[in-house]
Amino acid sequence: MKRPHLSKIVTSFVQWFDAEYVDPNNATPVGDLDRINWVRCLPFVILHLGCLAVFWVGWSWLAVQTALALYVVRMFAITGIYHRYFSHRTFRTSRWAQFAFAILGASSVQRGPLWWAVNHRNHHRYSDTAADPHSPVLHGFWRSHAGWFMSTRHYKTDYRRISDFARFPELVWLNRFDKAVPAALAVALYLSGFWLERAAPSLGVTGLQLFVWGFVLSTTVLFHATASINSVAHLIGRRRYDTGDDSRNNFLLALLTLGEGWHNNHHQHMACTRQGFYWWEIDLTYYGLKLLSWTGLIWDLKPVPAKAYDPAEQLRSEPMASAL
């Protein structure tokens, strides 16, 4: 392994806080772009090691419930907001709600909304070809699951590919300082636990306990569940449509990711809000978005096109009567 130069380490360190920082004197050689940037992704490694701290801080019902609630809310933020809104624009909303949604998405610690959406758009554009950022078929499981975004090539946001949202300065700011919201969440969890330890000692909660369960563990599990769509959902499951790539429908992944497991459906019709096309294809994100549309906060949810149910389009035709 090549030893990184000190100034490169400093650059990576500054980039922990400012994702857009570039050192003009220290451009990464093209041949090194696909290498894993260990200094840059050290917080990600520490997050994983930090999960072991659950044995040290102990547990309480409130800590477990907080971890679970933050998993569900932030999974919805990733699937409903980063994916179905910023990546595919499958519904519309107001500018202020868009920013509030982006903040909620950023709390998932999966970088900024524009970074996430650009890479995802590239995934659809080049799905399971050499230019796909994460294809388990071509690049292997580990690379498609996590290695791809740990490499220097994929840290940058290519704003040209997301000009529709890059015209909003508040989103560009959030994308640049993508650690701001996660840091605020981590501090808020610690302080809440610290306060409860004194105000309600019977709960058995401490500041560190709420931080470790609610932030460290919940965020790590959330990451792996999300990443499994990039890795497992292109390897294991059934194919309803001939999408020209290896995307698959996987019931278990759909439960874990609140609906994203209907990945073959999604690759076939990526513009519709709903990814579970039949009543038995549970898609909790869609149900949540439908509820939100009744409040008037979001609108113009794109329906599943009628041709999705056409037996001629399906490799394995499903009964029409069951279609919603």
Which residue lies nearer to Zn ion by CB, 78 or 185? 78
Distance CA 189, CA 122 (A): 35
Q: Closest Cα partner for 214 from 195, 192, 244?
A: 192
- Considering the complex, state which of residue 85 and residue 211 has its C-beta at the smaller distance from Zn ion: 85
Choose the stretch contacting Zn ion; rule: CB under 5 A; options: 63-71, 74-82, 242-250, 278-286: 242-250
297: DSSP letter = S
Q: Where is 93: in which H helix or E strand?
A: strand 92-93
For residue 229, the minimal CB distance to Zn ion (Å) is: 7
Q: Give the binding range for Zn ion (CB under 5 A) out of 29-37, 49-57, 93-101, 243-251.
A: 243-251
Calpha distance 25→183 (Å, rounded): 30
Q: Which is nearer to Zn ion, 136 or 193 (CB)?
A: 136
- SS3 assignment, position 79: helix
Q: Which is nearer to Zn ion, 12 or 144 (CB)?
A: 144
Q: Which is nearer to Zn ion, 62 or 284 (CB)?
A: 284
Q: Considering the complex, what minimum distance in angstroms separates the CB of residue 260 from Zn ion?
A: 8
In whole angstroms, give the CA distance from residue 34 to residue 22. Answer: 17
Which of residues 93 and 247 has its CB atom nearest to Zn ion in the complex? 247
**Shortest CB 96 distance to Zn ion, Å:** 25
> Please, which residue, 247 or 273, has the CB nearer to Zn ion?
247
Give min distance, CB of 87 to Zn ion, in A.
5
Q: Which stretch binds Zn ion (CB under 5 A): 40-48, 160-168, 200-208, 241-249?
A: 241-249
Per CB under 5 A, the segment of 70-78, 98-106, 149-157, 245-253 that binds Zn ion is: 245-253
The two three-digit tokens of residue 142, written as one number: 């580990």
Give the three-state DSSP class for 289: helix
Q: How far is the CB of 132 from Zn ion (least distance, A)?
A: 8
Crossing angle (nearest 10°) for helices 113-125 and 95-106: 90
User: What's phi and psi for 93, nearest 5 deg?
Assistant: -155, 180
Angle at 70 between CA 62 and CA 105, to 5 degrees: 160
Q: Which amino acid is at 217?
A: L
Per-residue binding string, Zn ion, 247-266, x by CB under 5 A, is: x-------------------
DSSP character string of 207-241 = HHHHHIIIIIIHHHHHHHHHHHHHTGGGTSSB-SB
Report, in Å, the least distance between residue 219 CB and Zn ion: 22
290 contacts 304 by C-beta, under 8 angstroms: no
d(CA 167, CA 170): 9
Q: What does the longest C-alpha to C-alpha distance in the chain come to?
A: 65
Residue nearest to Zn ion (CB): 247
Say how many residues touch Zn ion, by CB under 5 A: 1
Residue among 135 and 206 whose Cβ is closer to Zn ion: 135
Length of the chain as a residue count: 324
- Considering the complex, what minimum distance in angstroms separates the CB of residue 88 from Zn ion? 6
Query: Minimum Å distance from CB 292 to Zn ion?
Result: 19
Residues forming contacts to Zn ion in the complex (CB under 5 A) are 247
